[in-house]
Amino acid sequence: MLNVRLFQMKSFIPMPYEEALAPRLKIADQWLQSGSGKGGEFTGWVNLPRDYDREEFDRIRAAAKKIQSDSKALVVIGIGGSYLGARGVIECLCSPNYNLKKKDTPNVYFVGNGLSGDALYEVMELIGGQDFSVNVISKSGTTTEPAVAFRFFRERLVEKYGAAGADRRIYATTDKARGALKSLADRQGWETFVVPDEVGGRYSVLTAVGLLPIAVCGVDISGLMAGAAEMMEVCRRGGSDCPAWRYAAARFQLYHTGKKVEILGSFDPSFRFMAEWWKQLYGESEGKEGKGIFPASVEFTADLHSMGQYIQQGERILFETVVRMGPSGHPMAVPRDESDGDGLNFLAGRDMDFIRDRAMEGTLLAHSEGGVPNLIVETEDKSPRSLGQLIYFFEYACGLSGYLLGVNPFDQPGVESYKKNMFALLGKPGYEELAGQLKARLEN
Ligand code: PA5
């Protein structure tokens, strides 16, 4: 079971910190459990691992099988919460090099998560003449980046398979009733999956948003849900043994001692996109009303040779959370070299995990000595079950953290500002007045 350890924390925060915060944590926990806190209408993810729609889950598995059988590639179109979780899980459990591997499941390409023409063009080139399907994901059904990308890939599908053939290869994950994407899907007869009303984008990886692309890659999505359900039970019990309580309490205390930036680190490069997912989850949930810990991420040991300098000796506003997902699947012992020209025979026969673990201990000691407190999040292994636990743990701790901070952890009003400006500058009808003001400002 997932565990949170505080590494030599005594010199950074008063102990026992949970007791000091227990009354506030209890209230935050009650708000999450009852949906009675700020943004409570978006706490549908709290019981999702138990209450998820089994009929839809079976349809997700059936759709994944169909895509595996008729496509060499799946184009996943979405941004933010409609993208990062699926990519995080796929890279973590299958590999960041998933598309390059020999396998009997389709390649997966993520598009619509930016506005680069080159990126779109490249994916079209990579797919070439291969059979492909599209999973377009947008809760609102109106987000510009995925909507634009979808136009390109839909046109490609129609060219290749004809209008009716294209309709059989498009899977739309969106609101159950509202939005342009839902209307289009109904009109065209695309298979649709639902982003539940009460689950916000960044908490939606365990809905069809994440599960369909993840299942297409052959990951055991039942295992993912089972792990999340286990952690859900742990969080329901709460208390000082609950890892989400411990994590939320520690980071809250650290924030109030001036540690304004949390860096999430892992010694496993496959964790990179899980860290991106985590950054969105915490950044969008906490960063508002002039408050919030800034979430950043690093990849160890690579970043020890770049960001390591800042972490060790820069502004003392950092704390670090290291995620450790059990031993590697492939033991790799360092070869012996009789000439020992590189002087590395002291490591001969040692497994890479052994070396990594010593590097991790050395890093934690150095960073905490340098004034950067450390939290360690450990899972038993790198399996769907453990990742399900980790996802739910981070989500629950995020909800608690937002409430401890006094903000609504489920809205993102700040995301709208750039959208309004972009629409105005692109000439979207209805934004004429703003367009005039913005153009005048750009000219100054
Ligand atoms: O967390 C969120 O709500 C956002 O990051 C959204 O997921 C993102 O903006 C994409 O929105 P949509 O799914 O409506 O296209």
Query: 47-219: same fold as 3-37+224-405?
Result: yes
Distance between CA 9 and CA 250 in Å, rounded? 9
Q: Which atom of ligand 1 approaches the CA of 81 most closely?
A: 7
Q: ipTM value of the model? A: 0.97
SS3 label, residue 58: helix
80 and 201 Cβ atoms separated by less than 8 Å: yes
Give the per-residue pLDDT at 416: 82
Give the per-residue pLDDT at 2: 97
Distance between CA 224 and CA 206 in Å, rounded? 8
143 and 201 Cβ atoms separated by less than 8 Å: no
Please state, rounded to an integer, the average pLDDT across all residues of the chain.
96
Q: Which of 395, 359, 393 has the alpha carbon at shortest distance from 266? A: 359
- Residues 6 or more apart in contact with residue 52 via CB below 8 angstroms: 206, 207, 225
The residue contributing the CA closest to ligand 1 atom 3 is: 201
Give the per-residue pLDDT at 109: 98
- Residues 6 or more apart in contact with residue 111 via CB below 8 angstroms: 75, 76, 77, 119, 120, 123, 149, 153
- For ligand 1, the distance from its centroid to the CA atom of residue 181, given in whole angstroms, is 14
The residue extents of the domains of the chain are 3-37+224-405, 47-219
Residues classed as catalytic: 284, 419
SS3 label, residue 391: helix
Q: Ligand 1 pocket, 136 CB below 6 A?
A: no
Q: What percent of the chain has pLDDT over 70?
A: 100
Tell me which of 3.40.190.10, 3.40.50.1370, 3.20.20.70, 3.40.50.10490 is the CATH number of domain 47-219. Answer: 3.40.50.10490
Give the per-residue pLDDT at 142: 87
Class level of CATH domain 3-37+224-405: alpha beta
- Residues 6 or more apart in contact with residue 426 via CB below 8 angstroms: none
Q: Ligand 1 pocket, 6 CB below 6 A?
A: no
Give the per-residue pLDDT at 14: 79
Give the per-residue pLDDT at 415: 86
